[in-house]
Amino acid sequence: MIYLDHNATTPPLPEALISLARVANEAWGNASSLHTSGRTAKVEIENAREELAALIHAAPQEIIFTGGGTEACNFAILGAARAQKNKGRHLVASALEHSAVKAVLRALVEDGWEITWVDPDGDGVIAPESVVAALRPDTVLCAVMHANNEVGTVQPIAAIGSLLKAKSITFFCDMTQSLGKIPVDVKALNVDLAAFAAHKIGGVKGAGALYVRKGVTVESLVRGGGQERGLRGGTENTPGIAALGAAAAWWRAHGDAERARAGVLRDALQSALLQRIPNLQVTAQNVDHPVERLPNTLHVTFPGARGDVLVMALDLRGMAVSAGSACASGSVKPSEVLLAMGRSTEEASSSLRFSLGFGNTPADIPVVADAVAAVYAASRAAYGS
């Protein structure tokens, strides 16, 4: 199979799997225990904490391990909002957010909170001034994702964070899609809270992390035995955390080269598709003002076709692509992200996302482009367009 869905999940890195197996076999003790077996497990967790902290330019003490990116998003939003409920009950969020963020924000609305949603421009970019315009005296938290999982646009997080810092408003940033694909420096980006998922960077599912800037207060979401500085109870997933640490170490060593390689492949695929399908519409490709995109991500619209049909047709040819967010799989609803960008319902239902990664090579490009052109032509013929 030619796998082009790395934004949904990545194949585990060999280094991560080696670490996973080694720790599962050799450091299976409970990290809260005082004996040698427990201390051995604790060392593995702390080593992973240091690796992830170094990758995002944070202090190890600012990293809280979780069971994944969704938990980290829930932890950040619920924890920060509840900690400040006496200061105000108004939240601001971009309309581009992942369901892991939108769902918890909507749950807060049911509890009496108010939310102002900030729409992106036609290229999928959230303007800092639009965020500021949405603020109110009772705003306590703002959520804007770093990079969109569907269309790949990268937001001006540093500028947004700077404006929010000046107003003492807590800033949460979902970075599950950006980590590894672009450099991440939480200090330079002016964020207070940031969520990460191991399986997006070559780790394994079931492990994630939340960055909590020193001085920021969050209420515990998972209460238990006092692990993770009392903020996330429960016996730690030591093998999964160790694999996350190994993946973080890999990106520190090889990130620049991998990002450059992915960018070359993405641009080659875009050119190859446009050569074969001239009426293809590339998302966030504005000649007048270039938009920063994740280097591995290509999002395109196929006029007169259905994205889900193209996904299934390409799957039969041994190619994995996506019609949107993997967390919305099985749904035929148009993408909320594209609708927020001003696309029509038809356009939002006629798109594919190609996200490249570790296993892709230059030899894949013409094979994929030929297959896409063939299934698109067949789809249009079938629907009489």
Active site residues: 327
Q: What is the C-alpha to C-alpha distance for residues 97 and 174, in angstroms, rounded to an integer?
A: 8
> Contact 151/120 with Cβ under 8 angstroms?
no
The residues with which 92 forms a beta bridge, in sequence order, are 116, 142
Instruction: Look up residue 181 and give its two tokens.
Output: 């694909």
Beta pairing partners, 196 = 209
- Torsion, Cα of 363, 371, 260, 191 (10° steps): -150
Q: What share of the chain is helix, strand, coil (3-state, %, to 5)?
A: 45, 15, 40
SS3 371: helix
On whether the CB atoms of residues 343 and 140 are closer than 8 A, the answer is no
The widest CA-to-CA distance across the chain, in whole angstroms, is 71
Give CA separation, 211 vs 45, 47, 54, 57, 293, in Å: 15, 16, 12, 10, 23
